[in-house]
Amino acid sequence: MPATKPALPGIQDLEEIVVSESMIKRRVRKLGEEIAGAYPDEEITVVAIINGALLFAADLLREIRRPIRLDCIRVSSYRNETRSVGKPEIVHSLTIDIANRHVLLIDDILDTGKTLSVVVNLIKKLNPASVKPACCWTRKAGAR
């Protein structure tokens, strides 16, 4: 994909746009359909990793069209850098009980997998019925 200079104010330092708005919308719509199909008659407990997944999670939840309980978890892995540095740390954990619940873990970009691994391990210790991750994009492979 050729480098494109962004036309949006406030992001002039951005070298290129890797994922277009239309690509994101298509991915969110498709992922929402897949998730709704995986939980046809069940309420889903969604855990969004913030700050990164906040907007993606909001858009995705609009597409799922199932009963949902939502909680957020905050993880620090970038620490003011543009690349992951060190082991991710849980800054703010869950506030709802997820025992025996089907948990959908939402993150925006799967980069090294370290953050997702730390959060999945934490969630598994809380005895959910199931835990499945959902990511919009992978840094290396592009859309799934």
pLDDT in tens, 58-93: 999 999 988 999 999 999 876 666 555 678 888 888
Could you tell me the pLDDT band of residue 57, with boundaries at 50, 70 and 90? Answer: very high
Q: What percent of the chain has pLDDT over 70?
A: 81
What average pLDDT does range 115-134 have in this prediction? 94
Known catalytic residue at 41 = no
Taking the C-alpha atoms of residue 87 and residue 81, their distance in angstroms, rounded to an integer, is: 14
Catalytic one of 59, 97, 107, 111: 111
- Given a contact cutoff of 8 angstroms between Cβ atoms, the answer to whether 4 and 14 are in contact is no
